[in-house]
Amino acid sequence: MSKAVVARAIGGPEVLSYEDHDPGRPGPGEILVRQSAAGLNFIDVYFRTGLYKSETVPFVLGKEGAGTVAEVGEGVSRFKPGDRVAYSAGKGTYAELVLVPAEQAAALPDAIDFETAAAAMLKGMTAEYLLRRTFPVGPETTLLFHAAAGGVGLIAGQWAKHLGATVIGTAGSTEKCELALANGYDHVINYRDDDFVERVKEITGGRKCDVVYDSVGKDTFLKSLDCLKPRGMCVAFGQSSGKVPDFDLGILNQKGSLFVTRPSLFGYTLDRREFEESSGALFDVIASGAVKIRIDQRYPLEQAAEAHRHLESRATTGATIFTIA
C-alpha cells in the first residue's frame, strides 16, 4: 500500500485527498518505483480542473518524479530492482509508489540527485524541445520567453544563453525579474509596470524577436504576436492564464506572415530514441553546469492542495517538488 494524493473530483485544490492507494503490480513493460521526490507542474492543474481529461475519476495526479525501481514487469530488461530512474510521463506520481512505463523512464546518472531529477525532467525536457527542435535557437536568435522566473523559464533562460541567443523574458515582480537576470536572461520586463510589446521594440531597436515562447495563453498571446519579426514564430506551449481566444488566421498575414504552433513534450518524445535524446541532452547540460536546477518550494505530499494554490496564484519561482520519505 502507498500513500498518494487523489483527485476525488474535477475542481479546485479542495478536491485533493491524501490517502492510502494501491498502485498495483507492474504489468508487461512497466516498472514499479519507490519515489524519493515528485515534481509539480501546471499540467497537473490542467488535469485537476478538467481542462485535460483524465481517463478515470478519481485519479492520482502527477507526471514527473524520480526514485528507485522496486519491481519490474514482464519483458522489462532495461531496468532491474535498485536502479535509479527519473521520468516525465509517469501516471500518478503524487505517490510513494508509482507505476511507470519502462520506455518512458531514464536511468538517472549518479551525478544527479533525486530531487534535482524530479524538478528537472518535465520542465527541462520541455526546454530542450522548445529551444533545440521546435525553433532551434543559436547566436543569431533573439527570443522572448514569458514566465521567465518559473520552472521552465529559469531552465530555458540558462539553456538559451548557453546556445548563444539573446534572451528576453517577462516576469511579474521586481524580485522575479532579478531572479531571471541571474539565470541567463539579458533583459527582463516587469509586465505589471511596462508594456512588454513596447519594451521589446526598445530592447531590439525595433527589430523585434525571431521567436516568442508563450506558456501564459489568454493574457499574452495576441500581444506576443506583436513582438515578432516578419515570418517569426509564436510557440504557444501552455495556458496558465486561460485558453487562447479564437482568432482570425488572417491576423498572422497582417502581422508579417507569422507562424504559430501549439506543441507538447509528448509530441516530441514519440519513441524511445526521441526520449533518450531529450533526457540525455538535459542530463548533459545539468552535469556540465551550464544549467542549474533551482528548487524554490518543497512540500510534503499531504500539502499538495496548498502547493496547487501557490502555483496558481503565481506565488512560486523556479521549480516546486514534493519530498517523499
Over residues 1-44, the pLDDT tens digits come to 799 999 999 999 999 999 999 999 999 999 999 999 999 999 99
Full DSSP string of 18-49? EEEE------TTEEEEEEEEEEE-HHHHHHHH
- Give residue 75's domain range: 2-121+269-323
Are residues 33 and 67 in contact, defined by beta-carbon separation less than 8 angstroms? yes
Do 258 and 144 sit in the same domain of this protein? Answer: yes
Do 62 and 95 sit in the same domain of this protein? Answer: yes
pLDDT at 90 over 80: no
Kindly state whether residue 127 falls inside one of the protein's structural domains. Answer: no
Kindly state whether residue 164 falls inside one of the protein's structural domains. Answer: yes
What's the domain count of the chain? 2
Do 181 and 289 sit in the same domain of this protein? Answer: no
Do 292 and 206 sit in the same domain of this protein? Answer: no
Distances (CA, A) of 148 to 108, 248, 290, 319: 27, 28, 17, 12
Give pLDDT, residue 1.
79
Do 98 and 178 sit in the same domain of this protein? Answer: no
Average pLDDT over residues 72-77: 98
Do 203 and 252 sit in the same domain of this protein? Answer: yes
> Which residue matches cell numbers 509530441?
267
Are residues 204 and 144 in contact, defined by beta-carbon separation less than 8 angstroms? no
| 208 phi/psi in degrees, rounded to 5 | 65, -165
Do 163 and 243 sit in the same domain of this protein? Answer: yes
For residue 295, the cross-strand partners are 319
Kindly provide the b/e burial profile for residues 44-79, where b requires at least 16 CB atoms within 10 angstroms of the residue's own CB. Answer: bbebbbeeeeeeeeebbbbbbbbbebebbbeebebb
Q: 281 pLDDT band (50/70/90 cuts)?
A: very high
CATH number, domain at 82? 3.90.180.10
Taking Cα atoms as reference points, which of 238, 283, 240 lies closest to residue 262? 238
